[in-house]
Amino acid sequence: MYNFKKLLLFLTAFTCVSAYAQSLIVTGKVVDSEGYEVIGSSVTVKGLTGTGTVTDINGNFTLKINDASKDILVFSYVGMITQEVKVNKQRVINVTLQANTVMLDEVVAIGYATVKRKDLTGSVASISSQELIKIPVSDVTQALSGRMAGVLVQQSEGAPGASVSIRVRGGISITQSNDPLYIIDGFPSEDGMSTIDPAEIETIDVLKDASATAIYGARGANGVVVITTKNGSKSSGKATVNFDAYWGAKTLAKKLDVLSPYEFVKLDYERTLWRIGNGDTSSDGMEAWKKRYGEYSDLESNYISRKGIDWQEETLGRTALTQNYRISVSGKTDKMNYSLAYSYYDEEGAMVYSSNKKHNISFNINHAVSNWLTINSRISYDQMRIEGMGTSENTDRFNKMQHIIQYRPTIGIQGADADLLFGEDPILADDSGNVMQNPLISAAEEINNREWRTFQANGGATIKLWKGFSFRSTVGMRYQTRRNDIFYGADSQTAKRSSIYGSITNIESSSLQNSNVLSYSWKNSSHDVAIMAGHEFVTKWTRQFSAGATQFPNDEIGLADLSLGTPSTPTSNENYDDKLLSFFTRVNYAHMNRYLFTASIRADGSSKFGKNNKWGYFPAVSAAWRLSEETFIKNIGIFSDLKLRIGYGLAGNNRINNYQSLAIMSSVTAASGNGAQAGYASNQVPNPDLKWEANKTFNLGMDFGFINQRITFSPEFYINRSSNLLLDAKLPYSSGYQSMIINAGETQNIGIDLTLNTVNISNKNFTWNTSITFSHNKNKVNRLTGESIQLYLANFGYSGAGASHQIGVGQPLGQFYGYVTEGLYQVSDFDYDPTTQKYTLKEGIPYHGDKASIQPGYWKFKNVDGSEDNLITENDKTVIGNASPNFYGGINNTFAYKNFDLSIFLTYSYGGEVLNATKLTNTKTALTNKNVLAIASETNRWVTINNDGNIITDPEELATVNAGKTVACFDDNGSNNTYIHSWAIEDASFLKLSNVTLGYTFPKRIINKIGLSKLRVYATGNNLFTWSPYTGFDPEVSTMSSPLTPGVDFGAYPRSRSFVFGINVSF
């Protein structure tokens, strides 16, 4: 027992001595490469969580460690390279951290090559997969909104698969497409990014100025979006299996207020009295109205608490589900990396019977065959199917949103309101006498299905010839089929007006591209030279077939057999071919890593243009001065990066249809004696001088970096002048033609782009980063062909309105055109004769139409031209707004606390306007039996009855009741009163909480035990809140497809607010 006690005492003492020998207090100081203290540097023990400290104001630290022999200290700071130092029983450890040039060494795609961002001389905006993965969307274009300065992203509406447009620095064209060129892994994509799986993208680089885009020649004038896909694991070792999934639900972000059943019935009562008073015999009279809705004195008791039918809720109010699954296998060895991925996306639309489904499969491989040969290949198949009608396809009375808003909310006293859900309402005849469609039946009976199937394969080989020389050859092919099925069933509006109708359109296209590039690079201590010269050939063919039929015996078979119907239109079969042959070269030179120079030129020969202008030449030059490498700047000790960039270049736009320069013959039927003779005639004026639009760009930019890139700021100023615009010029009727494509006109865009990135807080447990973008663009038309002022009408059923948009020399694009509204005519504007009970407009007050017919409550327009007779004419129409914002951008804040991450992203826009055609067409109170938006309630509209339901005959009472009213009376608010005026122009400025994502990444020490290398879960909310004065669904809207009529909201499919839960797993 005594010996045991001695042994225990010895072991205890030994343990204590050992423990004391292993633990240690370490002190030290952390400085940067210039010897300045690094304040707030994180000092932790490798492998141990919850231990560590940060340096104080003098860069000093004190840290107790447990194992002086084995522990390793980790020193880290934002913008600097992390260092690891083994303690090895040292009591004092001083560390010098070097600047981390990763941000400056970030690789940027510039067309046929890549450069480090620090060597960039042009204007390029970039976004990486780390940012994209936080935004679960079907079309990655949506995720770019507000994240890149100078890049305006706008979704036309909220329908599944709705088009998303990108405008780089304003766009240059007036009548042709302003879409940028999309390049995916070196090959063009005509579908933008709509079919590609967002999770497959590694980086997106947007080339903004001509010094960067000129290398793409005739296709680069509207900017170039270069997409680089993932090609394998970033680290060598065994294969990694990744599984990503998310599930979501979405509901309408906003509904438009319409009249309640009580308000509607009261309106219809007043409307019926008005019609009877005007001698309208087509109305079924007050007795019929009472039979339908009851006595006026009973309206409040019958309808004030009656819910009625909310047609927006019935058609658009469902909780739509979204699901996405992606599985990939990737790996890397010393000589090869690869990636195989499959994804499935399924999205229900807010509108019943609408959806979007996508399948994507891709395989990427890169293989270093030898030290002189590397090959790569990418094969992908994408399938997208969009089902269901939208809300804005058709004009006026067939517009789906118009039916949803105008369908009456109550059936009256003769039945239950729910009866309206299951059949057509026979009393709802529109202004042309055609039956208005129950929106639920319309959605079920009108089929509009679109499907894209795209197969793409490309590959390349890079050969190292001899020192400094390499040759790369790439070949790619793309094959796509597009099918559009339209079918109007037996219960559809079309079938009831005529017959069952169906049509099929098939478009088949294929393209082949071959690029060959010879490169040379040489570098010593003072000079760095890179030269490349290349050749490219692109050929494409398109085949289109369409057929339609009516008079189907029933709708059971649908489109399975068109021969069951009667051909409605001649079968169409069209073929198109175009080719592009190109030669290009570029030189990059850097002297002492300070003075950078880039020059390029491309020659394009295109089959699209006239025989006199087949070839175009597109030069560019840019330079940069890295001032931060100069001694006099280094001595200041403020900048971690300072670079001045300047560039000038010429790029082209060839976005026109094929054969526009040629004389086209088409079949015609002409009178011949007493009969008709079939033959052919020219339907297009040839233009052998047709050529590309040319965009000359000047760009001046600065890149600032402070506190080891903890703060970066990049302002840019640009001037884009575009000439030889491809205009669809109108021709006189005497020519026998309507229009022809010519080169005429000139536009100008001047603007600034600002990008600010900051690391606000960074320590061992918490980081906070902010990114802000700001863009301002001002455009102007310098020259037009023909008249200096040209007018265009957006197609929303206002055929008698004259015009909705104006384009004029010396004026900006996107201008709305119409009358200036000065409210409504008030009773005080008239002389009243109590004997005849007639109102006569006073002298000196402007009027439109017949002066004698003007009554209190009519729309009142401004006498803009100052005519002495005060008659409002076409000369009084003027510019009443502009669709282009004054400035726009985004604010992104990302936070990380231990294993939690949070991002909050806002987008904003200020100064643009929208022509709210939905409001204009759905506040027409005179249309029989139709409901209207709540903005036309009795609180806002001119009323003609008092609370007892009697016509107001006393002018003082009429004036009192209608003080401050803003919506015209029945007489000036019917189907024939199609004015476009400033009342419908609304401020579209907004601040939007676009995205909030909260995620948690599980510690590796936990997930490694179950065989996982990564496990992250997250929740995301999209389109959460919008602060805007705009009264429509969403201020980010443009439902017209023509670039001549932007900023119109006519029946736009409303956007949804979505909530998503997701998981990222790696094995």
Residue 1027, number of CB atoms within 10 A of its CB: 11
Query: What average pLDDT does this structure show over 999-1023?
Result: 92
Query: What average pLDDT does this structure show over 502-526?
Result: 93
Pairing status of strand 766-783 against strand 746-762: antiparallel
Query: For the chain, how far is it from start to end, CA to CA, in angstroms?
Result: 56
Which of 396-400, 642-646, 997-1001 shows the lowest mean pLDDT across its residues? Answer: 396-400
Residue 691, number of CB atoms within 10 A of its CB: 22
395 falls in which pLDDT band (50, 70, 90)?
Answer: low
Residue 278, CB-side half-sphere exposure with 13 Å CA sphere: 13
Q: What angle do CA 697, 699, 703 make, to 5 degrees?
A: 160
Of 786, 795, 924, 1055, the residue nearest 145 (C-alpha):
1055
Query: H-helix or E-strand containing 525?
Result: none
pLDDT at 104: 61
| Contact criterion met (CB below 8 Å) for 985 and 881 | yes
Dihedral (Cα; 345, 348, 353, 357), 10-degree rounding: -10
List helix spans (H) across 781-861: none
User: Interhelix angle for 261-277 vs 285-293, to 10°?
Assistant: 170
Burial 397-432 (b: 16+ CB within 10 A, else e): bbbbbbbbbbbbbbbbeeeebeebeeebbeebbbbe
Strand partners, 1056: 252
Query: Residue 231 above 70 pLDDT?
Result: yes
875's CB contacts (< 8 A; 6+ apart) are 864, 865, 867
C-alpha 363/C-alpha 378 separation (Å) is 6
Strand order in the sheet with 878-882: 789-792, 805-808, 815-818, 878-882
Query: What average pLDDT does this structure show over 143-168?
Result: 85
pLDDT at 472: 94
For residue range 451-479, what is the model confidence (pLDDT) as tens digits?
Answer: 999 999 999 999 999 888 999 999 999 99
- Which of 103-117, 273-287, 664-678, 1001-1015 tops mean pLDDT? 1001-1015
| Contact criterion met (CB below 8 Å) for 228 and 202 | yes
pTM (predicted TM-score) = 0.88
Query: Residue 13 above 50 pLDDT?
Result: no
Query: Residue 1035 above 70 pLDDT?
Result: yes
For residue range 698-733, what is the model confidence (pLDDT) as tens digits?
Answer: 999 999 999 888 999 999 999 999 999 888 777 777
For residue range 582-626, what is the model confidence (pLDDT) as tens digits?
Answer: 999 999 999 998 999 999 999 999 998 888 999 999 999 999 999
Q: How far is CA 577 from CA 659, 716, 957, in A?
A: 9, 40, 71
Query: Residue 432 above 60 pLDDT?
Result: no
Query: H-helix or E-strand containing 673?
Result: none
pLDDT at 794: 81
Q: How far is CA 398 from CA 316, 338, 382, 392, 518, in A?
A: 17, 51, 33, 9, 58
| Contact criterion met (CB below 8 Å) for 809 and 783 | yes
C-alpha 7/C-alpha 29 separation (Å) is 44
C-alpha 973/C-alpha 407 separation (Å) is 18
Query: What average pLDDT does this structure show over 553-574?
Result: 83
Q: What is the 3-state secondary structure (H, E, C) of 215-252?
A: HHHHHCCCCEEEEEECCCCCCCEEEEEEEEEEEEEEEE
Domains and CATH numbers, the chain: 18-97 (2.60.40.1120), 107-232 (2.170.130.10)
Which of 180-189, 229-238, 364-373, 797-806 shows the lowest mean pLDDT across its residues? Answer: 229-238
Query: Residue 1056 above 60 pLDDT?
Result: yes
Query: Residue 800 above 80 pLDDT?
Result: no
Question: Chain-wide mean pLDDT for the chain?
Answer: 88
| Contact criterion met (CB below 8 Å) for 580 and 537 | yes
Pairing status of strand 900-910 against strand 887-897: antiparallel
**The pair of three-digit structure tokens given for residue 443, joined into one six-digit string:** 């959605």
Q: Helix, strand, or coil here: 586?
A: strand
